A and B are shown apart, each in its own frame.
Chain A
Amino acid sequence: MKHPALALLGAASVVVLALSACTSGGEGADATGDRTIVFATGEPDHLTPGRQTVAFDQVLSVFAPLVTLNEQNELEYVQAESIESDDATTWTITLKDGWTFHNGEPVTAHSYVDAWNHTAYGPNSWENSGQLASISGYADLNPTEGEPVAETMSGLAVVDELTFTVELIGPDSQFPLQLSSGQTGFYPMPEAAYEDLDAYDRRPIGNGPFEMTEPWEDNAEFTVSAYDDYAGEQPTIDGVTFRSYTDMNTAYTDVLAGNADVVFVPAGKMTNAGADFGDRLYAFEAPGVDYLGFPLWDPRYASTELRQAISMAIDRDAVNEAIYGGIHEPATALTAPSMAGTPEGVCGEYCEFDPDAAKALLEQAGGFEGTMEIIYPGGLGIDSLFEAYANQIRQNLGIADVVAKPTTDWAEYYESLTSKTVTGPHFGHWGALYASQQNTLRSLFTETGGCYDCTAYSNAEVDALLAEADAAPTLDESYALYAEVQEVVLEDFPTVPTFSNKYPYVTSPKIAELPAVSGSVVLSLVELSEG
């Protein structure tokens, strides 16, 4: 080595050459004029419907639900021929004939009953197990202690090839709504799935408009193609490529550059989306609500007037403009307007910005001593939102010390709720999985609702009214009763309703129209631009 400098440069070029040999070549740009789209999203956790918690778009394209909602939020059958009951407790589900899974297997009553039993069985620990909890016999498969005493739920019975009955633990008028697309725990699986469930998780065989033609591999994009024998409404496009991004801001930029076609707008880009995309920004009415929860066990927050004062000190319109680019809607009820029968405006003056009334209420509550910490999960990109809340409460209520305080991450935030160590008003969000007020109200405001820790609120009167609503003979009657529940809850004002969500999506010019149901994009019915 006479010339180390040159040798080093030489080494660098060897490195460069070696690299060009060892990394795989690219596929190059997509051919133009094809009828497939690229959907920019996060990496899936699972693709089995009973397991996924973040891969809705992927799973919804490969599977068809029993029912869906139309634009008027009315129930429409997809895979189901009918769903009927005389007493709202025992339901008879009849399937449409002639539907097949992508491997050619017919979709039968067994496809549903077996899949539901497998999803519900405790030791399988499938993430969406809880969605089936209202079926009789679920508890036998999920004892609080010890081994399950059964492998199948007693409430499920196959009547014939296309008919099965479901017995619930109590009357529930909302059951048909629970079978809509968001609750993927209610999806069917073919017999072929059980041969190798790990392989199935990588390449699920569904009954939906698109089929998987190749297994999903970690961090690699995968494509689903239109299933020619799909018995439902034929897809308008040939396929969808799901490309995963770790940083959704990058996904947004990639759609802006035209390298991908659809993306959910990340929190940090909401104010830019209108200017960047114009009429290619869609804001779909979503089933989610945002609220501030309280440590109701803490004497400092025990006063209803104090919580109302905080609510009236927040200028929701200004926050919406500044943080969300006006995309969300200020909340006027405890559920999102797209939940059928939601009594919009039931929150009344307490959800309206009125600093004077807020101050008066605070005085009535005896003021507030000390530091008010507003807790939210860090790492979600919602820091400016919570700083805005803190500023407004400080200024409009005249409380000197109000700080927005992030936790390290979601796990710590959630732990602070379950262990009841949260120290102040806190982040709250509930995304209903089906379009009924029932889901949000039961989850957040009853002790057994699954998210009791989210609000720490329960009330016997609410429980009784909810049961009455669940047992209502018609959906319309149930809606009125749920609306009544909202009134009763709001008398106690356990949470400050802040926003009804809209789910914002942006698209590349390739897409002319992006349809959606309950805030989720319907990929099979996307309209492409001509030319």
Chain B
Amino acid sequence: MKIAVGIGTRAGGLLVVFVGVTFLIYLMVFGLPGDPIRALGGDRPLTDSVVATLRERYNLDAPLWQQYVDYLAGLLRGDFGIDFTGRSVGGQMAARWPVTIALALTAWAIELIVGLVLGVIAAIRAGTVVDKSILGVTIVASAVPVFVLGSTAQLVLGVRLGWFPVAGTAAGWPTAYLLPALVIAVFGLAAVSRLMRTSVLENINADYVRTARAKGLDEGKVIGVHVMRNSMIPAVTYLATDLGFLLGGTVIIEGIFNLPGVGNLLFQAIRSHEGPTVVGVSTALIVIFLITSLIVDGLHIALDPRIRR
């Protein structure tokens, strides 16, 4: 019952956030300096009558509140509007979400598996060379700017060694997504393995573990079941919120690896001041972020029986 109320409150919050955020983003796009229609022609100016007709077509003559209300009204009908080349924003997003989701989930799976394993190894071998090199390597790797790591990986592993496709989605999943996902995953690895290491260390000498050992359980079961289960809460919390980040934070990687995902769409839309596209994509991102944090709460309950009571 409490959970239902909690979820209900969160859902209500979602609605408020939705309206507030769409308006704020609309306001920001509207407030960007420069006339997007004039900029459409590049360095060759459009004629005045072309500009006037286009402004009317994209509803740019109306005051801000009017544009926003029209946009919301469209949303209620399931219409995300059109961009400045006349394409449907909804259609664009539908075509691009699968790419971003595939990329984010691939990265997330790598982060999860590799991060947890590295964390446990580091904890078991705490203080040894293995522990220190895991710490060193993950921290150094995540300190490199994403575009440097991305371009370097592309040049070395893609162009020079030819192990991975250089760019594009033509090779399909998983081949085309592995390298970009790996680059993205590197940034979460340090955090996941550190969190995991710390909490495993906390638990590994706890009374219940000593008891388990005393009962004669083999070490694999002690670590794999008893220690892992109690140590995963911080890492899971991190991983779940990170999935939200991954879905929205892949703009640079999508650019470098030419993956036509939503990050890419958002980037282009901001540059061409396309309000409907920017609002549509960022709202979807925010909703995803809120939903993942909702899921985190659920996961906590599943992992820690104490919360359930």
Q: Does any Cβ of A come within 8 Å of B232's Cβ?
A: yes
Contact of A246 with B258 in the complex, beta carbons under 8 Å: yes
Does A8 contact B232, Cβ atoms closer than 8 Å? yes
Asked if A256 and B159 make an inter-chain contact with CB atoms under 8 angstroms apart, the answer reads yes
Contact between B232 and A412 (Cβ–Cβ < 8 Å)?
no
A470–B33 Cα gap in the complex (Å)? 38
Stretch at the interface among B43-51, B64-72, B130-138, B207-215: B43-51
Within 8 Å by CB of A433, from B44, B106, B172, B271, lies B44
Contact B39 A411 (CB under 8 A): yes
Cβ contact within 8 Å between A409 and B34:
yes
Check if A529 is an interface residue, CB within 8 A of chain B. Answer: no
Which chain B residues lie closer than 8 Å to A5 at the CB level? 116, 224-225, 228-229, 232
A23 x B50 contact (CB < 8 A)? no
Establish whether residues B34 and A250, one from each chain, have CB atoms under 8 Å apart when the complex forms. Answer: no
Chain B contacts of A46 at CB under 8 A? 85
Query: Given A54-B42, A411-B273, A19 and B105 touching (CB < 8 A)?
Result: yes
Residue on A nearest B251 in the bound complex, by CB:
A246
Q: Out of B87, B154, B225, B302, which one reaches A253, CB within 8 Å?
A: B154
Q: How far is the CA of A416 from the CA of B303 in the complex (A)?
A: 57
CB-CB < 8 A to A411: which residues of B? 32-36, 38-39, 272-273
**Contact A410-B34, Cβ < 8 Å, known A19-B105, A130-B46:** yes
By CB atoms of chain A within 10 A, which of B96, B224, B260 has the most? B260
Interface of chain B: mostly helix, strand, loop or mixed: helix
| CB proximity of A520 to chain B, nearest CB, Å | 15
Which B residues, 209 to 253, have Cβ-Cβ distances below 8 Å to chain A? 224-225, 228-229, 232, 236
Which residues of the partner chain B approach A450 to less than 8 Å between Cβ atoms?
44-45, 47
| In the complex, per-residue mask of A102-132: 1 if CB is within 8 Å of any chain B CB, else 0 | 0000000000000000000011111101100
* Residue from B41, B47, B167, B173 within 8 A of A254 (CB atoms): B167
A471 on the interface (CB 8 Å rule)? no
Q: Which of B41, B109, B154, B228 contacts A127 (CB 8 A)?
A: B41
The answer to whether the Cβ of A100 comes within 8 Å of any Cβ in the partner chain is no
Choose from A12, A243, A451 the contact partner of B113 (Cβ within 8 Å). Answer: A12
Whether B172 pairs with A25 at a CB distance below 8 angstroms is yes
Report the Cα distance A407→B271, complex, angstroms. 12
Interface residues of A in 139-154 (CB under 8 A from B): 142-144
Instruction: Confirm or deny: A431 has a beta carbon within 8 angstroms of a beta carbon on chain B.
Output: yes
**Chain A residue nearest in CB terms to B162:** A257
CA distance A67 to B70 in the complex (A): 47
Known: A24-B173, A127-B40, A251-B167. 5 other contacts (CB 8 A): A125-B54, A218-B87, A219-B260, A246-B267, A257-B162
Top-9 shortest CB links A-B: A411-B34, A26-B172, A125-B53, A23-B173, A219-B260, A412-B34, A5-B228, A122-B49, A411-B39
A sample of 11 inter-chain contacts (CB < 8 A) reads: A3-B224, A4-B232, A9-B112, A24-B173, A26-B171, A27-B170, A130-B45, A246-B258, A251-B258, A253-B151, A259-B168
